[in-house]
């Protein structure tokens, strides 16, 4: 039986989170379209492409940044037609950096678009989770 589109988006989100959780940079950035945009509450500007995010990530890594783990909670998909899905969830992440080990709690919205049969992240918005 074929997956419905919302299940496909949930699977794409799970692949993205798993790549992030294991700090698999190639797989993680491979899940984003080149023209994806990013809004992070802990960054002072909107990133207008995957390349801009990759540059920021590299700067973080130069400062000792590493993802040690990430868990997705309460994931929900809203489909907007057959080729766009909006995924939102809460994430709990363990990071290493120059300040040592850090635990974060965030809310995240990711817009996925199906292009040539593949679901790509085209927009990500991250905010602090007030319940954390």
pLDDT tens digits, 111-123: 999 999 999 999 9
For range 29-52, the mean pLDDT: 97
Give strand ranges (E) for the chain: 32-40, 66-79, 84-97, 100-115, 118-128
Domain of 74 in residue numbering reads as 5-128
pTM over 0.85: yes
Question: Which CATH number characterizes residue 99's domain?
Answer: 3.10.450.50
pLDDT at 1 over 70: no
For residue 3, pLDDT beyond 80: no
| Structure tokens belonging to residue 18 | 């798993």
Q: Among positive and negative, which fits the CA dihedral 83, 89, 94, 97?
A: positive
The tally of domains found in the chain comes to: 1
- Backbone angles phi and psi of 131, in degrees to 5: -85, -5
- Rounded to an integer, what distance in angstroms lies between the CA atom of residue 50 and that of residue 62? 18
- What one-character DSSP code corresponds to residue 2? P
- Is 38 in contact with 122 (CB distance < 8 Å)? no
30 Cα distance to chain centroid: 11
**If pLDDT is split at 50, 70 and 90, which confidence band does 2 have?**
low
Percentage of the chain beyond pLDDT 90 is: 95
Q: What is the percent of the chain with per-residue pLDDT over 70, rounded to a whole number?
A: 98
Per-residue pLDDT of 64-99, as tens digits, reads: 999 999 999 999 999 999 999 999 999 999 999 888
Read off the pLDDT of each residue in 44-64 and give the average, rounded to a whole number.
97
Residue 59 to residue 77: CA distance in whole angstroms = 32
Distance from C-alpha of 88 to C-alpha of 99, rounded to nearest angstrom: 29
């Amino acid at each position: 039986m074929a997956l419905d589109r919302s299940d496909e988006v949930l699977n794409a989100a799970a692949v993205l989170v798993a790549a992030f959780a294991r700090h698999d940079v190639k797989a993680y950035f491979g899940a984003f379209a080149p023209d994806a945009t990013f809004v992070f509450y802990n960054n002072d500007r909107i990133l207008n492409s995957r390349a801009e995010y990759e540059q920021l990530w590299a700067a973080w890594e130069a400062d000792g940044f590493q993802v040690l783990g990430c868990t997705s909670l309460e994931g929900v998909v809203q489909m907007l037609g057959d080729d766009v899905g909006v995924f939102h969830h809460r994430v709990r992440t363990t990071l290493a950096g120059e300040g040592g080990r850090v635990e974060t709690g965030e809310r995240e919205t990711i817009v996925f678009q199906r292009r040539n049969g593949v679901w790509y992240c085209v927009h990500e918005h991250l905010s602090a989770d007030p319940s954390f």
